[in-house]
Amino acid sequence: MRDPAPGPRLKLSGIWRETVRERVDVDCEPSPARPGVSREALARMEEAQGWCEWLAPADRRLMGAVMQGLVRGWSRPDWVAVRRKLGDERTTDAMRNAFRRSLLAISKRLSDG
């Protein structure tokens, strides 16, 4: 039987090894170091955590889960992921409404003094 493509033959295993090596090299690059937290930022964070003490325990957990996601880069809350993380039986709409009520309760308490 004749070779269908005349000319030099490629060794696919060698090409694959190079591709894998390139991917590993890219994935293993260290991420840039993050600057430390300033004292002012830490004080603001502790103050905001104190506000959550005004909420019911279930709403505190909800608020914490949403804030963690936003810190990780969510542009808006991923309610399905929050629901999975908390193992909550509420619907995503109910969680969204509870989050809004929690924000409203905090803002009212802050504005009342």
pLDDT tens track for 36-85: 778 898 888 889 889 999 999 999 999 999 988 988 899 999 999 999 99
108 within some domain: yes
Task: Return d(Cα 84, Cα 95) in angstroms, integer.
Answer: 12
Counted domains in the chain:
1
pLDDT tens track for 12-44: 455 444 544 444 444 555 566 667 778 898 888
Task: Return d(Cα 82, Cα 64) in angstroms, integer.
Answer: 10
89 within some domain: yes
83 within some domain: yes
41 within some domain: no
pTM score over 0.85: no
Quote the domain boundaries for residue 72. Answer: 57-112
64 within some domain: yes
52 within some domain: no
